[in-house]
Amino acid sequence: MKQLYLLIILLLSLIAYSQPAKDSLLRLDRVSVSKQFILMYHLDKCAKSYYLKDKKERALSELRFTQFYNDSIIGTNPVPEVSISKYLGFKNETDIPVNWKDFISRAYDNTILTLLSLTEKYGYPSKARMNTEAGDRFSYATMFLATYAPKYDKQLKKLFKQEYKAGNISEKEYELFRLVIKRKTTMTKADLDLMKNAQQ
């Protein structure tokens, strides 16, 4: 019984220590973390451009995908010191996705894995904790980035719940996450109000 009590005390001490340590680490690495989110938003914007096309435009863009990839994805990289090809999982800079589907799959998979990794290392880098250009857009946009690959839902739910309890995710942000993770096909007025308020 005494050993169990000591173990609980030790765990509580580690938890109490880990959050200030993560806060300090995030302040130290804030610029590099910000750049990773800026890149994530860039790739998300590029991926979404495909879904905004009609059927004819999509077919044409598939034929010209290599040109689009080089000109509009690589060519407009807002963080040129970070290799998009390596971010997408390629070993060589000259390797590229074979088509739109391959690009979108790689982009969203690596975005969620990056989000999980950053959150585990620094704690959830919310707008309040970031205080950077990326942070200004983070609380709203990244909740949607986190839901593009359902296979990571279990990990995200567990991690984000921990971060909410730790105070790194605001109640507003957490409620938004719980809403978007449901992937509703029809939104109620209350849902739309929550999404609108999350941007403020």
Contacts of 100 (CB under 8 A, 6+ apart): 50, 58, 61, 62, 65
Tell me, yes or no, whether 153 lies in a domain.
Answer: yes
pLDDT of residue 71: 94
Please indicate, yes or no, if residue 22 is contained in any of the structural domains: no
Q: Which domain holds residue 150?
A: 28-198
Tell me the pLDDT tens digit for each residue of 40-52: 889 988 998 998 8
Q: Would you state the pLDDT for residue 180?
A: 78
- Number of structural domains in the chain: 1
Looking at residue 97, its pLDDT comes to 95
Q: Is residue 89 part of a domain?
A: yes
At 129 the pLDDT is 76
Report pLDDT for 63: 93
Look at residue 101 and tell me if it is in a domain: yes
Q: Does some domain include residue 20?
A: no
CA atoms 176, 179, 185, 187: torsion sign: negative
82 located within any domain: yes
47 is a domain residue: yes
Q: What is the pLDDT of residue 138?
A: 52
Q: Which run of H or of E encompasses 125?
A: none
Q: Does residue 180 sit within a domain?
A: yes
138 closest CA partner among 19, 36, 29: 36
pLDDT of residue 25: 84
Tokens of 88: 């997408």
pLDDT in tens, the chain (200 residues): 555 444 444 444 444 447 778 888 888 888 888 888 889 889 988 998 998 899 999 999 999 999 999 999 999 999 999 999 999 999 888 899 999 999 999 998 998 899 899 989 998 887 777 765 444 455 445 666 666 777 888 898 899 899 899 888 888 888 888 887 776 666 677 766 666 665 55
8-11 contacts, C-beta under 8 A, 24 or more apart: none
Q: Report the pLDDT value the prediction gives residue 4, as an integer from 0 to 100.
A: 47
What is this structure's pTM?
A: 0.77
